[in-house]
Homo-oligomer: A and B are copies of this chain.
Amino acid sequence: MELSCKSEYALLALIVLRDHYLDAEPVQIRQIAMQQNIPDRYLEQLLAVLRRSGLVRSQRGARGGYSLAREPWQITLLEVINCIEGRDITAPIGEPAETTERIAIREVWQRACSQMSEVFRGCTLQELCDRRDNRQTSQLMYYI
């Protein structure tokens, strides 16, 4: 599986946006790019996709920038990845399959996709940030 570089960049950007979630002012591309070490012109394209999908809001002109369009606990990683990858990663790719052999393969493949997607569906942007903030603490909490 290859959640290419794109998805990682997008998630990194969203993490920054959630860090400034309560700020009055939006965050600029340049700032995100420098902070997370992402080529800014490339990040611009990804943020455009996130905006068109309604995950992110933009403010044009001077003092403009980006901000989250939703609360961080209402954004799942699956949404972000699906949106940035441009397709539904819950299902296999390619045409539906016709022979019994190919159908059998697709069945297993479908289950694999679903299992993977469930991990991403079960993690929100908020949880991702929590996990970053104190990984050891949260891991302890899981065992209580």
Contact = CB atoms under 8 A, between A and B. Distances in A.
Contacts of A5: 94
Number of copies: 2
A74 to B, nearest CB: 17
Nearest to A117: B112
B109 A3 contact: yes
Q: Is the interface of A mostly helix, strand, loop or mixed?
A: helix
A102 B1 contact: no
26 contacts: A1-B1, A1-B2, A1-B112, A1-B116, A2-B2, A5-B94, A8-B94, A8-B105, A11-B105, A12-B102, A12-B105, A36-B99, A36-B101, A37-B99, A103-B135, A104-B128, A104-B132, A104-B135, A105-B128, A107-B135, A108-B119, A108-B120, A108-B131, A111-B119, A112-B119, A115-B118
Interface of A: 1-3, 5, 8, 11-12, 15, 36-37, 77, 89, 92-94, 99-105, 107-109, 111-113, 115-120, 123, 128-129, 131-132, 135
